[in-house]
Amino acid sequence: MPETLLQLSGPVRCELGGVPLGLTLHGSAGSPAAAYAVAFSGRAPPQLPASLPEARLESLGAGEYRIVSGERSWCLQARALHVTRAVAEEFYRVLPPRPTPLHRRLLWRALLALAASRAGLALLRALRR
């Protein structure tokens, strides 16, 4: 009995590759912020389109997987399945940015003011040597 591993909603991009990853699916599950990449260590199934409207990934057993999209399905053999999720947006939303110290802000403001003129650039070049 097939076990559903992941349900990708919305457009799913299919990226065909060579060795070691023969196929990578890029899509989102649930909200658009939950972006996933599913890579297969095996050959891509024949006649797989470049894009799918939605995709469901099922495990059929040891090393056998099925991609289902609407009425169509594709089976493939893979040694391994790699699933990654983009969490940077959620991570940085939870952590507040650290305020930049005043001395660093003043230093950068002074450097940029110097760099805005030819004389300032000449001074910066002289200080760099």
pTM of the complete model: 0.68
Q: What pLDDT is stored for residue 111 in this prediction?
A: 93
- The contacts of residue 65 (CB under 8 Å, 6+ apart) are 5, 40, 57, 58, 59, 75, 76, 77, 78, 81
pLDDT tens figures, 100-120:
999 999 999 999 999 999 999
**pLDDT tens per residue across span 70-104:** 999 999 999 999 999 988 878 888 888 889 999 99
